[in-house]
């Protein structure tokens, strides 16, 4: 312990005596620390996002939709394919109560909404209360549609209020992403809750407003179908008032867990066969695969970043090795003197290793501070979206910096310890 302290003291004296050289070594290892912390915080951010997305979207998703690629040879052969109606949704629910979510969607693409003296085109979507079970990235004012609304085909609706565009959105992008659209403006600038609106000649009561979470607090659903919702109404109401008439519904399903996914898939296909016959009238899209692929991709890019961090440390380590070797050659005579007055090989090795580890430690601390600054305020200022730096990241980074320095100091220290005292004393 005492020899360690003495080595640390000598190390500190040496580091202080060669400030330029030491600062360069710090910087080399600090660069490693910065990249490492950045890599880890990026990975952590990715994982946190994935977890959040899993929570929001669920893993075990699938979607039933009409198969539009049905072919027929002449118009005379054409038999209108069966459609998935609300009754079929109810039947599926009855057959498979274990499913976490069975959420039908039927969209009418072009509607005219009148409110006061404003008339604008928009799009209304028919859903059920199950719509809120997944991809719910909103805060709700008022209430959402309930089963009473659905069963009684009530003319009630919920309006979606867009979040303010993320910072850095210019006018062209605003237009592209429809931030300036009439409907969005209407909802943004008027408190529509409890108001009556007219959609294609029918009066609807606005019972709720869904406000999109701001961009900073939102994670995009991983299921890939980020629909642009504007007006949500009971699906039965839209059928009843002939908004979507005979249109086939899309059904978003969540089986609740990955374990029963394949089994549920098989059962659903079976259900479709029994109910609609053998023609491939519907497609059951396996979304689990896609989600898994995305997660695998995230992990892959995380590994790439980590290996970049490791490379940076490697470069820093080589820097330290270089400096330590230079130190050994510059202090050969000192090594001779120390050996002459009784230092063992172990003492000499310890001295150079401790010195290098101190370089690594200080560099690691410096790099951690820079890494933290880079990860949080600088990246935010540059609009890159800050990645969270957890307290353990600088600690691990300092440890790795010190460990790298240790590993790379072994060879120079071994060279130093191997010098013959008489030869070392003769060195100039």
Partner 1 sequence: MSITCSELTKIYEGGKTGWPALRGITFDIKPGEFVAVTGPSGCGKSTLLNIIGLLDEPSGGKYSLNGRDVFTLSDLERSDTRRDEIGFIFQSFHLLNRLSSVENVCLPMMYAGADSGEMHKRAIALLGKVGLHGKEKKIPLELSGGERQRVAIARALANSPKLILADEPTGNLDSASSKEIMQMLVDLNAEGITVIMVTHDKELAARAGRNIRMCDGRIEK
Give whichever of 13 and 257 is closer to partner 1, judged by the CB atom.
13
CA distances, 198 to each of 116, 126, 204, 422 (Å): 9, 16, 6, 101
Q: Is 45 in the site for partner 1 (CB under 8 A)?
A: no
Q: Is 332 in the site for partner 1 (CB under 8 A)?
A: no
Give whichever of 350 and 365 is closer to partner 1, judged by the CB atom.
350
Give whichever of 57 and 351 is closer to partner 1, judged by the CB atom.
351
CA distance 15 to 164: 53
The residue among 162, 156, 175 whose CA lies nearest residue 210 is 162
Give whichever of 48 and 337 is closer to partner 1, judged by the CB atom.
337
Query: Contacting partner 1 (CB under 8 A), which of 339, 387, 398, 409?
Result: 339
Query: Contacting partner 1 (CB under 8 A), which of 119, 175, 266, 333?
Result: 333
Footprint on residues 6-35 left by partner 1 (CB under 8 A): 6, 13-14, 17
Q: Give kind and range of the element (H or E) at residue 335.
A: helix 332-340
Q: Is 155 in the site for partner 1 (CB under 8 A)?
A: no
Q: Is 327 in the site for partner 1 (CB under 8 A)?
A: no
Q: Is 340 in the site for partner 1 (CB under 8 A)?
A: yes
CA distance 426 to 335: 11
Q: Is 105 in the site for partner 1 (CB under 8 A)?
A: no
Partners of 196 in the β-ladder: 205
Query: Contacting partner 1 (CB under 8 A), which of 342, 381, 383, 391?
Result: 342
Quickly list H helices, 1-65: 2-17, 19-57
Looking at 78-86, 224-232, 334-342, 352-360, which segment touches partner 1 (CB under 8 A)? 334-342
Q: Is 346 in the site for partner 1 (CB under 8 A)?
A: yes
In this structure, the number of other CB atoms found within 10 A of the CB of residue 173 comes to 12
Q: Is 219 in the site for partner 1 (CB under 8 A)?
A: no
Query: Contacting partner 1 (CB under 8 A), which of 79, 172, 341, 381?
Result: 341
In a 3-state reduction of DSSP, which class is residue 279?
Answer: coil
Q: Is 63 in the site for partner 1 (CB under 8 A)?
A: no
Q: Is 345 in the site for partner 1 (CB under 8 A)?
A: yes
Q: Supply angle C-alpha 236, 239, 242, rounded to 5.
A: 150
The residue among 40, 36, 13 whose CA lies nearest residue 401 is 36
Q: Is 66 in the site for partner 1 (CB under 8 A)?
A: no
Q: Supply angle C-alpha 134, 135, 137, rounded to 5.
A: 125
Q: Supply angle C-alpha 149, 152, 153, rounded to 5.
A: 75
CA distance 6 to 351: 8
Footprint on residues 389-428 left by partner 1 (CB under 8 A): 420-422, 425
CA distance 116 to 121: 14
Task: Work out how close the CB of 346 gets to partner 1 at its nearest, in angstroms, rounded to a whole number.
Answer: 8
Looking at 2-10, 75-83, 192-200, 381-389, which segment touches partner 1 (CB under 8 A)? 2-10
CA distance 144 to 127: 11
The residue among 198, 15, 208 whose CA lies nearest residue 127 is 208
Looking at 23-31, 41-49, 317-325, 328-336, which segment touches partner 1 (CB under 8 A)? 328-336
Query: Which residues of the shown chain bind partner 1 in the complex (CB under 8 A)?
Result: 2-3, 6, 13-14, 17, 333-334, 336-347, 420-422, 425
């Amino acid at each position: 312990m005492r020899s360690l302290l003495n080595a640390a003291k000598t190390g500190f004296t040496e580091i202080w005596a060669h400030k330029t050289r030491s600062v360069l070594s710090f910087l080399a290892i600090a660069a490693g620390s910065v990249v490492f912390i950045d890599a880890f915080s990026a990975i952590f951010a990715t994982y946190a996002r994935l977890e959040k997305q899993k929570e929001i979207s669920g893993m075990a998703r699938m979607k039933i939709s009409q198969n539009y690629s049905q072919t027929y040879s002449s118009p005379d052969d054409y038999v209108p394919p069966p459609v998935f109606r609300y009754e079929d949704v109810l039947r599926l629910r009855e057959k498979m109560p274990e499913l976490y979510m069975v959420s039908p969607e039927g969209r009418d693409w072009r509607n005219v909404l009148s409110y006061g003296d404003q008339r604008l085109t928009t799009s209304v979507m028919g859903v059920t209360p199950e719509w809120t079970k997944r991809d719910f990235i909103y805060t709700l004012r008022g209430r959402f549609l309930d089963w009473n609304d659905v069963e009684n085909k009530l003319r009630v609706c919920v309006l979606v209020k867009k979040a303010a565009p993320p910072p850095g959105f210019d006018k062209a992008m605003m237009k592209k992403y429809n931030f300036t659209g009439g409907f969005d403006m209407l909802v943004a600038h008027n408190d529509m809750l409890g108001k009556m609106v007219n959609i294609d000649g029918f009066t609807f009561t606005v019972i709720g407003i869904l406000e999109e979470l701001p961009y900073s607090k939102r994670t995009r659903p991983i299921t890939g179908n980020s629909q642009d919702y504007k007006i949500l109404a009971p699906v039965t109401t839209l059928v009843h008032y002939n908004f979507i008439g005979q249109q086939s519904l899309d059904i978003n399903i969540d089986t609740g867990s990955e374990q029963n996914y394949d089994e549920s898939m098989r059962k659903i296909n079976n259900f479709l066969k029994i109910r609609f016959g053998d023609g491939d009238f519907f497609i059951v899209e396996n979304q689990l695969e896609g989600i898994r692929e995305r997660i695998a991709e995230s992990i892959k890019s995380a590994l790439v970043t980590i290996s970049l961090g490791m490379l940076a440390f490697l470069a820093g380590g080589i820097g330290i090795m270089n400096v330590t070797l230079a130190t050994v050659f510059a202090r050969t005579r000192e090594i001779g003197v120390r050996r002459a007055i009784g230092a063992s090989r172990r003492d000499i090795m310890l001295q150079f290793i401790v010195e290098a580890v101190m370089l690594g430690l200080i560099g690691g601390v410096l790099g951690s501070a820079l890494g933290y600054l880079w990860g949080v305020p600088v990246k935010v200022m540059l609009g890159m979206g800050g990645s969270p730096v957890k307290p353990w990241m600088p600690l691990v980074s300092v440890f790795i910096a010190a460990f790298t320095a240790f590993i790379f100091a072994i060879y120079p220290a071994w060279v130093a310890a191997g010098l013959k005292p008489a030869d070392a004393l003769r060195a100039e």
